[in-house]
Structure 1
């Protein structure tokens, strides 16, 4: 195995404060190729039911890439993770850090039942021009069903839907614009 960037639990703990929040604590389990991390919830978060389906994160010991994983016991996630790396297969989790896309959304139209956004996304991992997205995205306010001006809805547009819907729940209005990374 190449030199490990994250050799100790303390290094991983410090890194997690950059990725998430300095206030968020995690339980951490070391595996051969990674560190399986699970957020420690407050009593209020547990009372709100946030512990149901609580997932795991894995920090790769060498690269520092953080992937989100299913709500299985951390030791099982660690076994799956190590097995995938040993076999040269992709890990089952979705990369959440470092971000892979820079996304900007701009509201272009709103009716009583729909909002339409222009979604522009630029790859942070492959910044060539062909690695950018420019889609019109229409969201049904009630069902959150979407349609685009292209045949395929890009994952950046799916994240834009989640982000816009989350923002709309904050104050009851759909955002005029915004920029975020995933």
Structure 2
């Protein structure tokens, strides 16, 4: 998946008209919605999470921390064979 495909996927999943910033790293992409100054003034950045689009295609949600920190933590977990975060796409099977 390329940068633009990752951006389009996250724009669709977030249902936003705002731009989505996409940051490449060794296991895929980190993505975060870019809020307007008005949205920031309304406090929408509080609790705004970061999403990881894994190279496998799985998208996970992560806490409101700087994207480089999320990417570092995610990469460390992947090196150990784990995927961290809450899976948001594809929708997880509720039977699991």
Corresponding position of 1:45? 39
Instruction: Tell me how many residue pairs correspond in the alignment.
Output: 96
Give the Cα–Cα distance (whole angstroms) in 2 for the partners of residues 45 and 30 of structure 1: 25
Structure 1 gaps of 5+ residues are: 1-5, 102-122, 124-130, 133-182
From the two aligned structures, give the one with the greater helix fraction. 2
Pairing partner for 1:54 from 48, 56, 65: 48
> In 2 relative to 1, CA 19–85 (structure 1 residues): closer, same or farther, beyond 3 Å?
same
1:67 and 1:94 in contact (8 A); partners too: yes
Q: TM-score, normalised by structure 2?
A: 0.85
SS of the residue 2:87 aligns to: strand
1:24 paired to 2:45 = no
SS of the residue 2:17 aligns to: coil
1:97 paired to 2:94 = no
Cα displacement (A) at 1:77: 0.5
CA-to-aligned-CA distance 1:52-84 (integer Å, 9 cap, x gap): 23211111112x211111111111110111111
Give the Cα–Cα distance (whole angstroms) in 2 for the partners of residues 31 and 90 of structure 1: 15
State the 4+ residue runs in structure 1 displaced beyond 4 angstroms. Answer: none
Larger Rg: 1
1:41 and 1:51 in contact (8 A); partners too: yes
1:66 paired to 2:56 = no
CA RMSD of aligned residues (A): 1.9
Structure 2 gaps of 5+ residues are: none
Q: TM-score, normalised by structure 1?
A: 0.48
CA-to-aligned-CA distance 1:76-134 (integer Å, 9 cap, x gap): 1101111111111231x111112225xxxxxxxxxxxxxxxxxxxxx3xxxxxxx39xx
Cα displacement (A) at 1:10: 1.0
From the two aligned structures, give the one with the greater strand fraction. 1
